[in-house]
């Protein structure tokens, strides 16, 4: 296990990070710029060398370096998907770490963890595993990553994999030895190989990079020449095909220029003759110039020529063809061939569309064919993209000079429509079959070029930098044709000569590296053996002298330990000699002890006083006699105590773990910790530190006699210390017991077998009120009569002891105080032997306070039980109120629960009336409820103040006026307020009248319920407010807001209920009236809508007054109303309708202009069972009768006709 300080670990990882990035930048750049370059990836070898030396410590730096390196590589490749880039870099970094870690583990097992590389076997295994075999993992992984990102096609996989395998293998084989000469162990042998191995290997790496780079550039030049020749031929052919198709439009223009009038059949013959020859043309058309005032004449003329409906159209905003709006100039398509699939284009005004208009204007200005931008063509296939080419045709054979003259003499346009699918696709397919990626753009507008065609993404692989560009003039517009090699093209143009050269160079690099390792390894090995032998001889001489010196020190320490009483001084002298012998700077000898949790800690017997300032020296000196206590086990000393084995730390990184023992300890560069054993049990630790040459196993064996001497001295010191401690503990124990008895909280007295008091403590003196000398004059029977009435009874009592020696344990009795009062006490009796005599120990505890607390506890329990009952009732009140749907149910719940909640008082619930002027009693309870049935809000002080108010006869400054007079009760008013609105009053009063001499205590009994009625009042107020709100919302949902009548939805519900009730009866009587105000629209138009609303409100009042409570009147819509007459036959319904009609005719409604509005109404009647049994049928029949009344002159009642019985007519 390698132990380094965290800061050194950070430095090592940082160095690896920088080296990896530096060694990977050049290979990445060469690989991106050329497909044929195979750069040695030295970063892999450098990372492997660091992993061999520092193992898992450098994994974080390696992962981050690989991540950053691959991130840079993909960034150069212009990958824009950031998450894909990050994920790919993370996967690459993980694969690199796995690859190199696997190689390091394999090499460690094969080479038996020795990386000297100085023999044939170790060198062969190293170059084979670290080079070709290791590169298999990275090459496969990176190829899969690049392929998954869409940057690699199947044809490029083998080439890319081989490139990576050769480059990574070369870098690993050459880079690892170059880094190992600086970081690998053993330092002595690798340092001697820096120049003989490093310089040739570095030069060979540069040579390899140059050769592969030049060879790659040569292959690139050959590929570029071949690619440009093929691309130029393909582009020239495409240009010729496109321009030849455009020439057909020019030919049609010559036809129109040669003839002043081209008939439709001539146009068709011309197009059909050569249509198959020009496969890229979608359609040819003729668009004449039409003035706005001639639109209708031109349409009629073209209908006769074409023999079909002809309308001049334009595109609306939603993309539909609509009739064109007249303007000064129009250029509608008159003729088009082929017609099939282009029917929509016939009649389309080209000048109405901005893109097509720009093409027409460009043709006039240039007096030449002019193409439009690409757009959606108008045909049956609405997704077809293409462009048009317009050629102007003038009235005269001589072309006008200026644009204005050309516009005046413009006869029309010959048009050619071209789709991308028919013109471009066949051309690009030929290029793509060759293996080219095709990109065509319209760059007429350089600021905003438009894309015409691009090879699909699945065909767009390829990593080469080859590109061919050609600009083509398409009827006044400039198209850019760009060709680049696809993956398939690159895959079919691989050069086997280059890969053969790369493979030969790879094998040569392996052989050259192996040869250098073998030659330099042998030389370094011989030199190292000579140096080792010399050092061994010197070491033997030094060990012999050191052994003699150690034996002398041990003998002197043993003699001093026997003769001197101060063992600390002996330990300090022994430690000082050992520090001097081992050439260390400081150390300690410590003894292991255990705390209460059986956790070991070290207490030093000796510690070399080495600190950096005088203040710390004084602190160490003050603690030296007792010894320092080291408790932290996460340190080098803790490792020795826990592992119970010697610990050697020869790296300065361990300074931090050692400094955890004490913040002021000196810097530790090397450390040796030795456990001290006694009979296989660790009893101490010796630590020495800062030996310049470090510590090893030899010095451990050398110090074994010293450790045995320390163990004997520690055991002897412990034995003497334990003896002295036992004597001291015995003395302290006696003092301790005496102090406990004297100052015990409970009274303690000792009694002899005759019952006489022998001794007593201070607590016993306080219980009996007598000092110890006076207690000695009395017997136990006098002090505690319940314990024994006389000495004879006491002896009999003691004769019945249990097995534990306790006669009485925790029995409650009474003790006799000198003042004559009896004090309740708990008594326990036991016996002891004192100088051969039996004594009885009586322990007495004063329980006066305990008895008092018991009484208070019982009272509290009773109060809690009462409060729990009240809370249960409150919960029941809340649940019951929440389940109520109407106010009456809530009133009943309050009247039922309140007597249980406040049984000592009667009361009533007063609720605010609908007018809001008075409070009305809605429920009451108790034996003496209030007699007031209602009162005004001002009569109650609680309502006026908005807070609860209580009164007690004449003592109250104010008395509510609604209380009973002249004999008032004890009363309590609680206003019911919800969301700031006062709803009523919850009133309580005593069951009996109060008198002037009533005491306040009795009033407090009544008012003690205040804590329970307050939350009850809040619950009641909130519940009543919610119920009232629900009722209000329900009325709003079923009422018409203007007239107050039921709305259509409620009428439908009630009508269905009435029909259901009628079905259950043998003789159902149910009629429907529908009525409509005659000429109501004239009222609104003449007098305004306010007058119309007034008419509707007045009519609603008449309807409500004319029907029974069981009937339903609703506003069906507008000025139409429906009345459902329950239990009403046909005759009653007709009579009721006539009565309403007459009332409406007599109705007078004033208008805003002081005129009187007079109206009539028409009625329709339908009867259940006669005109239908469903709601829809009845309403429909009633409506039909209503409209029949309208047709027959209005202001009348019509009954729906009875259905014709076919059997009767037959």
Whole-number pLDDT of residue 1184: 93
Fold adopted by 564-725: Beta-Lactamase (3.30.450)
Whole-number pLDDT of residue 1187: 93
| Cα separation, 740 vs 748, whole angstroms | 11
Region 1104-1125: mean pLDDT is 89
Whole-number pLDDT of residue 543: 66
The more confident residue out of 786 and 1016 is 1016
Whole-number pLDDT of residue 1207: 45
Least confident of 141-150, 739-748, 830-839, 1023-1032: 830-839
Query: Could you give the percent of the chain with pLDDT greater than 70?
Result: 81
* Residue 795 binned pLDDT confidence (cut-offs 50, 70, 90): very low
From edge to edge, which strands make up the β-sheet containing 477-485?
Answer: 450-454, 436-442, 477-485, 468-474
| Cα separation, 20 vs 84, whole angstroms | 23
Give residue-wise pLDDT tens across range 850-901.
Answer: 877 877 888 777 777 767 777 777 777 777 877 887 878 888 888 888 888 8
CATH number of the domain located at residue range(s) 866-1024 in this protein: 3.30.450.40
The more confident residue out of 237 and 676 is 676
Token pair in block for residue 394: 């003038």
Whole-number pLDDT of residue 612: 44
The answer on pLDDT for 238 being more than 50 is yes
The answer on pLDDT for 971 being more than 90 is no
Q: Which long-range contacts (CB under 8 A, 24 or more apart) does 657-660 make?
A: 657/3, 658/689, 660/632, 660/634, 660/635
Q: Is 481 helix (H, G, I), strand (E, B) or coil?
A: strand
Give residue-wise pLDDT tens across range 178-190.
Answer: 878 788 777 667 7
Region 1125-1153: mean pLDDT is 89
The more confident residue out of 296 and 34 is 296
Q: What ranges in 606-761 are assigned the alpha helix state H?
A: 614-623, 636-643, 655-659, 697-702, 704-743
Residue given tokens 């807070």 in the structure block: 947
Give residue-wise pLDDT tens across range 559-573.
Answer: 766 666 667 778 888
CATH number of the domain located at residue range(s) 259-420 in this protein: 3.30.450.350
Choose the CATH number for 748-846 among 3.40.50.261, 3.30.70.380, 3.30.450.20, 3.90.550.10: 3.30.450.20
Whole-number pLDDT of residue 798: 47
* Residue 1165 binned pLDDT confidence (cut-offs 50, 70, 90): very high
Greatest mean pLDDT among 274-278, 537-541, 1199-1203 lies in: 1199-1203
Whole-number pLDDT of residue 1208: 44
The answer on pLDDT for 1008 being more than 70 is no
The answer on pLDDT for 1088 being more than 60 is yes
**1133 phi and psi angles, rounded to 5 deg:** -65, -40
* Residue 822 binned pLDDT confidence (cut-offs 50, 70, 90): confident
Q: Strands 1161-1167, 1197-1199: parallel, antiparallel or unpaired by DSSP?
A: parallel
Provide the sign of the torsion angle of the four alpha carbons 200, 202, 206, 211, taken in this order. positive
Region 66-80: mean pLDDT is 70
H or E segment and range at residue 1055: helix 1048-1063
Greatest mean pLDDT among 293-297, 923-927, 1072-1076 lies in: 1072-1076
Cβ-based burial of 566 (10 A; exposed 0-12, middle 13-18, buried ≥19): exposed
Whole-number pLDDT of residue 726: 80
Region 94-104: mean pLDDT is 86
Greatest mean pLDDT among 205-219, 410-424, 742-756, 954-968 lies in: 410-424
* Residue 1038 binned pLDDT confidence (cut-offs 50, 70, 90): confident
* Residue 1163 binned pLDDT confidence (cut-offs 50, 70, 90): very high
Token pair in block for residue 15: 């160095």
Cβ-based burial of 31 (10 A; exposed 0-12, middle 13-18, buried ≥19): buried
Q: Are 1141 and 1173 in contact (CB under 8 A)?
A: no
| Cα separation, 1100 vs 1097, whole angstroms | 5
Q: What ranges in 367-495 are assigned the alpha helix state H?
A: 403-408, 420-423, 425-434, 487-491
Whole-number pLDDT of residue 32: 45
Whole-number pLDDT of residue 213: 66
Q: Are 216 and 38 in contact (CB under 8 A)?
A: yes
The answer on pLDDT for 255 being more than 60 is yes
Report the predicted TM-score, pTM, of the whole model to 2 decimal places.
Answer: 0.37
CATH number of the domain located at residue range(s) 1039-1207 in this protein: 3.30.70.270
Same fold: 564-725 with 748-846: yes
Whole-number pLDDT of residue 1209: 38
The answer on pLDDT for 1118 being more than 80 is yes
Distances from the Cα of 412 to the Cαs of 312, 407, 409, 474, 883, in angstroms?
15, 10, 9, 21, 85
Give residue-wise pLDDT tens across range 23-71.
Answer: 877 666 655 444 444 566 778 888 888 888 888 888 888 899 888 887 8
The more confident residue out of 499 and 278 is 278
The answer on pLDDT for 457 being more than 70 is no
Compute the mean pLDDT over every residue in the chain, rounded to the nearest whole number. 79
Domain spans of the chain, in order of start: 6-226, 259-420, 564-725, 748-846, 866-1024, 1039-1207
Q: What angle do CA 697, 701, 707 make, to 5 degrees?
A: 120
The answer on pLDDT for 1206 being more than 60 is no
Whole-number pLDDT of residue 622: 54
Whole-number pLDDT of residue 412: 92
The answer on pLDDT for 1005 being more than 70 is no
The answer on pLDDT for 652 being more than 70 is no
Give residue-wise pLDDT tens across range 610-651.
Answer: 544 555 555 555 555 556 777 777 777 888 888 889 988 887
Least confident of 200-214, 692-706, 786-800: 786-800
* Residue 490 binned pLDDT confidence (cut-offs 50, 70, 90): low
């Amino acid at each position: 296990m390698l132990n380094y300080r965290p800061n050194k670990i950070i430095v090592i990882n940082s160095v690896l990070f920088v080296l990896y990035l530096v060694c990977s930048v050049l290979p990445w750049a060469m690989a991106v710029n050329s497909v044929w370059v195979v750069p040695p990836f030295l970063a892999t070898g450098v990372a492997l060398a660091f992993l061999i030396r520092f193992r898992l410590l450098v994994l974080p730096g390696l992962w981050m370096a690989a991540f950053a390196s691959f991130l840079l590589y993909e960034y150069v490749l212009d990958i824009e998907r950031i998450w894909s880039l990050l994920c790919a870099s993370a996967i690459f970094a993980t694969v690199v770490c796995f690859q190199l870690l696997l190689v390091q583990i394999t090499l460690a097992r094969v080479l038996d963890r020795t990386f000297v590389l100085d023999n044939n076997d170790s060198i062969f295994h190293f170059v084979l595993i670290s080079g070709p075999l290791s590169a298999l993992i990275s090459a496969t992984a990176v190829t899969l990553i690049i392929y998954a990102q869409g940057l690699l096609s199947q044809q490029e996989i083998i080439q890319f994999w081989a490139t990576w395998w050769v480059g990574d293998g070369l870098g690993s084989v050459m880079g690892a030895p170059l880094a190992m000469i600086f970081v690998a162990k053993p330092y002595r042998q690798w340092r001697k190989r820096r120049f003989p191995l490093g310089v040739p290997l570095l030069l060979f790496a540069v040579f390899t990079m140059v050769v592969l780079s030049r060879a790659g550039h040569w292959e690139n030049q050959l590929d570029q020449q071949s690619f440009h020749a093929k691309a130029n031929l393909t582009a020239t052919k495409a240009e010729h095909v496109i321009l030849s198709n455009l020439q057909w439009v020019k030919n049609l223009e010559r036809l129109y220029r040669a003839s002043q009038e081209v008939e439709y059949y001539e146009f068709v013959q011309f197009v059909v003759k050569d249509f198959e020859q020009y496969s890229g043309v979608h359609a040819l058309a003729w668009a004449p110039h039409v003035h706005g005032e001639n639109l209708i004449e031109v349409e009629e003329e073209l209908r006769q020529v074409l023999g079909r409906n002809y309308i001049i159209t334009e595109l609306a905003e939603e993309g539909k063809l609509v009739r064109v709006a007249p303007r000064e100039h129009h250029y509608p398509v008159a003729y088009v061939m082929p017609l099939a699939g282009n029917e929509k284009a016939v009649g389309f005004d080209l000048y109405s569309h901005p893109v097509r208009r720009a093409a027409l204007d460009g043709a006039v200005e240039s007096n030449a064919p002019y193409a439009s931008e690409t757009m959606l063509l108008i045909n049956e296939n609405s997704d077809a993209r293409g462009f048009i080419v317009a050629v102007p045709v003038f009235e005269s054979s001589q072309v006008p000079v200026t644009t204005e003259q050309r516009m005046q003499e413009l006869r029309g346009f010959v048009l050619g429509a071209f789709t991308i699918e028919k013109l471009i696709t066949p051309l690009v397919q030929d290029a793509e079959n060759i293996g080219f990626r095709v990109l065509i753009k319209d760059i007429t507008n350089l600021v905003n070029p438009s894309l015409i065609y691009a090879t699909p993404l699945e065909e767009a692989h390829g990593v080469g930098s080859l590109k061919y560009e050609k600009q083509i003039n398409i009827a006044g517009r400039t198209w850019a044709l760009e060709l680049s090699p696809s993956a398939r093209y690159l895959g079919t143009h691989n050069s086997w000569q280059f890969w053969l050269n790369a493979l030969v160079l790879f094998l040569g690099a392996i052989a050259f590296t192996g040869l250098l390792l073998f030659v330099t390894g042998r030389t370094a090995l011989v030199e190292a053996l000579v140096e080792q032998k010399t050092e061994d001889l010197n070491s033997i001489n030094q060990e012999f002298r050191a052994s003699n010196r150690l034996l002398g020190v041990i003998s002197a320490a043993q003699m001093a330990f026997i003769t001197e009483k101060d063992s600390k001084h002996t330990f300090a002298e022994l430690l000082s000699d050992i520090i001097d012998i081992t050439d260390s700077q400081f150390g300690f000898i410590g003894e292991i002890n255990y705390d209460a949790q059986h956790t070991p800690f070290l207490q030093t017997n000796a510690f070399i006083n080495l600190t950096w300032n005088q203040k710390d020296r004084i602190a160490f000196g003050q603690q030296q006699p007792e010894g320092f206590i080291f408790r932290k086990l996460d340190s080098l000393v803790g490792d020795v105590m826990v592992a119970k084995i010697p610990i050697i730390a020869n790296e300065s990184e361990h300074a931090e773990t050692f400094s955890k023992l004490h913040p002021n300890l000196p810097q530790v560069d090397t450390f040796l910790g030795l456990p001290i054993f006694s009979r296989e049990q660790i009893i101490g630790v010796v630590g020495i530190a800062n030996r310049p040459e470090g510590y090893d196993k030899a010095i451990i064996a050398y110090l074994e006699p010293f450790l045995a001497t320390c163990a004997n001295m520690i055991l002897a010191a412990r034995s003497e210390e334990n003896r002295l401690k036992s004597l001291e503990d015995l003395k302290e124990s006696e003092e301790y017991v005496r102090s406990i008895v004297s100052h015990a909280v409970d009274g303690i007295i000792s009694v002899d077998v005759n019952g006489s008091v022998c001794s007593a403590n201070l607590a016993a003196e306080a219980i009996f009120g007598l000092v110890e000398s006076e207690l000695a004059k009395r017997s136990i029977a006098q002090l505690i009569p319940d314990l024994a009435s006389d000495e004879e009874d006491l002896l009999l009592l003691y004769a019945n002891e249990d097995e534990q020696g306790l006669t009485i344990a925790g029995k409650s009795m009474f003790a006799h105080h000198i003042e004559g009062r009896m004090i309740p006490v708990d008594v326990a009796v036991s016996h002891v032997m004192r100088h051969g005599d039996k004594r009885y120990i009586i322990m007495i505890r004063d329980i006066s306070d305990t008895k008092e607390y018991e009484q208070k506890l019982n009272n509290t329990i009773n109060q809690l039980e009462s409060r729990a009952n009240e809370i249960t009732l409150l919960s029941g009140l809340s649940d019951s109120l929440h389940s109520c749907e109407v106010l009456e149910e809530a009133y009943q719940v309050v009247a039922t629960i309140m007597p249980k909640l406040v049984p000592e008082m009667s009361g009533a619930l007063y609720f605010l009336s609908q007018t809001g002027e008075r409070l009305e009693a809605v429920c009451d309870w108790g034996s003496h409820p209030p007699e007031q049935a209602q009162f005004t809000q001002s009569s109650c002080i609680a309502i006026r103040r908005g807070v609860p108010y209580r009164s007690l006869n004449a003592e109250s400054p104010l008395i509510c006026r609604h209380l009973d007079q002249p004999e008032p009760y004890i009363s309590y008013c609680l206003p019911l307020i919800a969301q700031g609105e006062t709803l009523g009053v919850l009133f309580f009063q005593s069951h009996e009248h109060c008198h002037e001499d009533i005491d306040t205590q009795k009033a407090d009994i009544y008012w003690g319920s205040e804590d329970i009625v307050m939350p009850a009042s809040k619950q009641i107020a909130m519940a009543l407010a919610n119920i009232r709100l629900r009722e209000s919302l329900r009325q709003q949902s079923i009422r018409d807001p203007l007239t107050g009548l039921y709305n259509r939805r409620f009428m439908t519900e009630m009508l269905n209920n009435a029909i259901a009730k009628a079905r259950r009866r043998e003789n159902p009587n149910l009629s429907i009236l529908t009525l409509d105000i005659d000429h109501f629209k004239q009222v609104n138009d003449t007098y305004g809508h306010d007058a119309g609303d007034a008419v509707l409100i007045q009519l609603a009042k008449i309807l409500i007054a004319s029907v029974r409570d069981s009937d339903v009147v609703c506003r069906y819509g507008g000025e139409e109303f429906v009345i459902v007459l329950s239990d009403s036959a046909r005759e009653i319904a007709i009579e009721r309708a006539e009565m309403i009609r007459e009332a409406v005719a007599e109705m007078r409604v004033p208008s805003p202009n002081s005129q009187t509005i007079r109206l009539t109404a028409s009625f329709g009647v339908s009867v259940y069972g006669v005109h239908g049994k469903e709601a829809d049928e009845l309403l429909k029949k009633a409506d039909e009768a209503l409209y029949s009344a309208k047709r027959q002159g209005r202001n009348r009642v019509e009954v729906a006709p009875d259905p014709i019985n076919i059997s009767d007519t037959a």
